[in-house]
Amino acid sequence: MAAAAAAAAGPVLWRRLLGLLPGRPGLAALLGRLSDRLGRNRDRRRRRSPWLLLAPLLSPTVPQVTSPPCCLCPEGVHRFQWIRNLVPEFGVCSSHVRVLSSPAEFFELMKGQIKVAKRRVVMASLYLGTGPLEQELVDCLESTLEKSLQAKFPSDLKVSILLDFTRGSRGRKNSRTMLLPLLQRFPEQVRVSLFHTPNLRGLLRLLIPERFNETIGLQHIKVYLFDNSVILSGANLSDSYFTNRQDRYVFLQDCPEIADFFTELVDAVGDVSLQLQGDDTVQVVEGMVHPYKGDRAAYCRAANKRVMDVINSAKARQQVLHAQTFHGDSLLTQEDAAAAGDRRPAPDTWIYPLIQMKPFEIQIDEIVTETLLTEAERGAKVYLTTGYFNLTQAYMDLVLGTRAEYQILLASPEVNGFFGAKGVAGAIPAAYVHIERQFYGEVCSLGQQERVRLQEYWRRGWTFHAKGAGAALPVLRRGIVCHLRAAESAGEAVGKDGDPADQELLLRTDRCCPEWP
């Protein structure tokens, strides 16, 4: 309440705060809405910050399907076929996909996968924590690297870790100091890359203090890869994400094409990042423009090319594989494949990695998400889950304007990661509740309570961080859409539709609040 009173009494202060956050649209939008909505008595159906009205105009054009549906492809591919024009499409067998249910399962699986890795370990996260559980993870890496050196035959095991520079450098003991022993002992096998946003530079970089500088832009990809198996998650490498912070985790087992793609993607982002050295200094990859000392436009062009080369190369490979799978003579039933022993069964699950790196003018995630919400039709059910409810105006309008049913799961204030924090951060849960109430007010004013439902996740002693999107569409069999947002993104999401049990994982909640008092 104190935060609300302060916002109402001093809108100029809030606007000054917004001025300090040019590169963090999610947080800026949150503060802007809180200021505008508390400071003015507007029509309940359209209470939005005036500058956010420009959002639809700034959104990328929704792509059109450039080729007709393939009559030879399974039915479930038809609806998503247009995404192949933007990103690579990976077809896998559903028996290779496992949804994990708890932080402890996530932690134990990672340790187990590290211990048996023979060729590569790739880990991309916002940061690595500094507690005993994080040290246990580093010890697993050290033990596996040590075994690779002692093997009878020389091992080509490589460990690549991608983190955010500002978050990974916070404090005297940080992600960098945790990983320095690995770099010092295994300099030929370990690479640690620290992404630094090009928007944090000059006087801005000198004046904004630690912690606050993270609002300008971050590396936010969460991928954990071991040989040919991949964990896609929203979880960071920190103790709470291993114990009592509920997130989502999809384990893709023995999927070499997917593992190769994410290895190349992390390598690409790593190449445009700063490289940690054994003496705790950082260097730029030879020939690369410095992210904050060099020319910003030149850096962003180079980064765009490096990342898009990976996407386009993988897309071309997968298009060839698609033609061979569905248009050649290699398509087998699972029974036939098992009998043959040397040919893979027909895929029944499709994975589309959606990349969002706005400083590099890569906004594939926005395009696909907006298109999926736009095309949601009557009879479709859309599931959204987020730890921080702050939909853009464009997304709110799509939810309110389409005919699909929406079930939205979000964190109750008590399980928000900022609950109980000191200073301004402590008011963030109340701000999200305010936005949530206003959105639900619009739902009620339009008489759409039966079509758009909101639920809150609550579990004593836990926090909630899961962000995902899933859809049950009339003609859809199975599909996975993976959202990977990096360099100035609020998060990323993975949604799987198919078995009801998969949906139940996203919608499990101990406290349901479909109606507001």
Q: Looking at the predicted structure, is the pLDDT value of residue 31 above 60? A: no
Contact 464, 419 (CB under 8 A): no
Q: In percent, how much of the chain has pLDDT > 90?
A: 56
Specify the range with the lowest mean pLDDT, choosing from 74-78, 79-83, 255-259, 504-508. Answer: 504-508
Q: Helix axis angle, 256-271 relative to 296-327, nearest 10°?
A: 170
Q: Is the pLDDT of residue 392 over 60?
A: yes
Lowest mean per-residue pLDDT among 116-125, 161-170, 273-282, 417-426: 417-426
Query: What residue has token string 């050196």?
Result: 149
**What are the φ and ψ backbone dihedral angles of 99, each rounded to 5 degrees?**
-95, 120
| pLDDT for position 347 | 84
Residues 6+ apart with CB under 8 A from 209: none
Burial environment of residue 88 by CB neighbours within 10 A (0 to 12, 13 to 18, 19 or more): buried
3-state secondary structure of 49: coil
Q: Which residue has the higher pLDDT, 482 or 277?
A: 277
Alpha helix stretches (DSSP H) within 90-194: 103-116, 132-150, 165-168, 175-185
Residues 6+ apart with CB under 8 A from 360: 300, 303, 304, 307, 487
Q: Do domains 93-313 and 346-490+499-508 have the same CATH topology?
A: yes
**Where is 345: in which H helix or E strand?**
none
Name, in order, each residue with C-beta under 8 angstroms of 144's C-beta and a sequence gap of 6 or more. Answer: 114, 115, 117, 121, 157
- Of residues 114 and 499, which shows the higher confidence score? 114
The per-residue pLDDT for 491 is: 29
Mean pLDDT along residues 167-191: 97
Query: Residue 99 pLDDT > 70, yes or no?
Result: yes
| Residue 227 a catalytic site member | yes
Domain boundaries, the chain: 93-313, 346-490+499-508
* Helices marked H in 250-333: 256-271, 296-327
Confidence of residue 177 (pLDDT cuts 50, 70, 90): very high
Phi, then psi, of 301 in degrees rounded to 5? -65, -45
pLDDT, tens digit (0-9, with 9 covering 90-100), for 226-254: 999 999 999 999 999 999 999 999 999 99
- The answer as to CATH 3.30.870.10 being correct for domain 93-313 is yes
The pLDDT value given to residue 338: 52
Residue count of the chain, please give it.
517
CB 505 within 8 A of CB 247: no
**From 118, 139, 227, 260, the catalytic residue:** 227
The beta strand positions in 412-486, using DSSP E, are 452-457, 463-464, 468-472, 479-485
Q: How much is the mean pLDDT over the chain?
A: 79
pLDDT tens, position by position, 268-285? 999 999 999 999 999 999
**What is the mean predicted confidence (pLDDT) over 192-203?**
97
pTM for the model: 0.79
Return the biggest CA–CA distance within the chain. Answer: 74
Least confidently predicted of 16-25, 160-169, 447-456: 16-25
Per-residue pLDDT of 306-354, as tens digits, reads: 999 999 999 999 988 877 776 665 444 555 545 545 456 678 888 999 9
Q: Which of 220, 315, 358, 496 is catalytic?
A: 220
Higher pLDDT, 33 or 465: 465
Q: 196 an active-site residue? A: no
> What average pLDDT does the segment 433-443 reach?
92
Catalytic residue among 196, 222, 358, 467: 222
- Confidence bin at 149 (pLDDT 50/70/90): confident
Higher pLDDT, 348 or 260: 260
The answer to whether 279 is a known catalytic residue is no
Q: Which CATH class is domain 346-490+499-508?
A: alpha beta
